[in-house]
């Protein structure tokens, strides 16, 4: 049976690929989407999610999250993801409307509706999950498992020298989540930059994606990825793209593509130069029990093959009475 999944995202180019993957894979059943401000403001994230769901024929609640982090003013990454979050892509406008619940409320409702079964996935800042913990402190015990794209353990940052974007945007929220889930029955799985940056899209990858499916979302993703490649090239990486979020999502629903190791982890909140850094105690100096299973090795090539194959399952939905969008 496909696992029920709640996706908390800040869509975002690689978030859009992750959402499309969840629409295509038979291994997951998306039951809700929380729109968290990060790559672009929360309202734009929600609009991207609503219009992507319409294009993908996904009938799931999309909730608007908090407009700003817990402590600091909001900041965004239009240079990385473009003014709307989707690079050069232009999504067909839909008449989809937001759910009548906040992002935090959707977390709680979905967990209560699927106790012990819900797979929670955070691929943006942790603001709304932190707020959900205020509403339902038992949330860590209601989830089957939490999966997170975030952090940089033994790796340079992508937001300042040491910080990773999803954690650095709202470090107080991330710290609150890691602390609360220290008591979860299953440790959260963390996909840091150390591993997600092993996943590299090249011109050949984009060509494979373009050939995989004739679904209209394919053209959207390719237009978005053109911007992403140009950003990475301007940032000194060459004509490639690091595609973080779909890797973590695919591992969350399949259990494949990454080897993990237990680690005691915390978030630096006060450092003058290192605020938002994820600090892992590999040597056990803190005397704390591990609170995450951190990805330490990726099967990047296997994931890319799997992603191309999965997106190839997408089909255009014909008028009512026709076959479904998956085969």
Provide long-range contacts, Cβ within 8 A and 24+ apart, for 136-139.
Answer: 136/107, 136/108, 136/111, 136/112, 137/180, 139/107, 139/108, 139/111, 139/180
What mean pLDDT do residues 17-36 have?
98
CA 114 to chain centre: 20
Catalytic residue among 114, 244, 251, 306: 244
DSSP 58: -
Q: Quick one: pLDDT band at residue 323, thresholds 50, 70, 90? A: very low
Residues 6+ positions from 325 with CB-CB distance below 8 Å? 23, 56, 57, 314, 315, 316, 317
Q: pLDDT band at 317, cuts 50/70/90?
A: low
Q: Binning pLDDT at 50, 70 and 90, where does residue 29 land?
A: very high
Q: Residues 106, 81, 267, CA angle at the centre, nearest 5°?
A: 60
Write down the pTM of the prediction. 0.95
Measure the CA angle with vertex 15, ends 268 and 23; round to 5°: 135
For residue 279, the cross-strand partners are: 266
CA terminus-to-terminus distance, the chain: 16
Confidence label for 123 from pLDDT (cuts 50, 70 and 90): very high
**Residue 244 designated active-site:** yes
HSE, side-chain direction, 13 A CA sphere, residue 127: 29
- Residue 282's pLDDT is 97
pLDDT of residue 322: 44
Return the closest-CA partner of residue 45 out of 77, 10, 21: 10
CA 132, 122, 174, 292: dihedral to nearest 10 degrees?
110
Q: Is the pLDDT of residue 285 over 70?
A: yes
pLDDT value at position 325? Answer: 39
Q: Is residue 7's pLDDT more than 50?
A: yes
**Domains of the chain as residue ranges with CATH:** 3-311 (3.90.245.10)
């Amino acid at each position: 049976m496909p696992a029920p999944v709640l996706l908390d995202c800040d869509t975002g180019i690689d978030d859009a690929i992750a959402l499309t993957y969840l629409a295509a894979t038979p291994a997951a059943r998306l039951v809700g989407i929380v729109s968290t401000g990060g790559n672009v403001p929360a309202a734009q994230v929600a609009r991207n999610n609503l219009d992507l769901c319409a294009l993908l024929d996904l009938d799931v609640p999309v909730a608007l999250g908090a407009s700003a982090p817990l402590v600091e003013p909001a900041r965004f990454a239009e240079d990385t993801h473009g003014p709307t979050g989707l690079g050069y892509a232009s999504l067909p406008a839909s008449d989809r409307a937001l759910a009548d619940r906040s992002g935090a409320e959707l977390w709680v409702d979905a967990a209560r509706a699927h106790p012990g079964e819900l797979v929670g996935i955070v691929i943006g800042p942790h603001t709304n999950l932190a707020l959900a913990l205020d509403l339902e402190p038992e949330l860590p015990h209601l989830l089957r498992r939490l999966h997170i794209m975030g952090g940089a353990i033994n790796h340079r940052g992508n937001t300042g020298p040491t910080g990773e974007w999803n954690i650095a945007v709202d470090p107080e929220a991330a710290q609150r989540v890691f602390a609360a889930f220290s008591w979860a029955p299953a440790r959260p799985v963390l996909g840091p930059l150390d591993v997600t940056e092993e996943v590299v899209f090249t011109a050949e990858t984009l060509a494979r994606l373009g050939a995989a499916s004739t679904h209209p979302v394919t053209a959207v993703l390719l237009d978005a990825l053109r911007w992403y490649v140009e950003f990475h090239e301007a940032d000194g990486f060459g004509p490639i793209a690091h595609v973080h979020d779909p890797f973590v999502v695919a591992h969350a629903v399949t259990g494949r593509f990454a080897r993990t190791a237990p680690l005691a982890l915390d978030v630096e909140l006060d450092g003058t130069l290192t605020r938002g850094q994820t600090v892992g105690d590999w040597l056990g100096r803190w005397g704390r029990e591990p609170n995450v299973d951190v990805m330490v090795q990726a099967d990047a090539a296997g994931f890319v093959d799997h992603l191309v194959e999965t997106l190839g399952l997408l089909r255009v939905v014909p008028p009512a009475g026709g076959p479904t969008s998956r085969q």
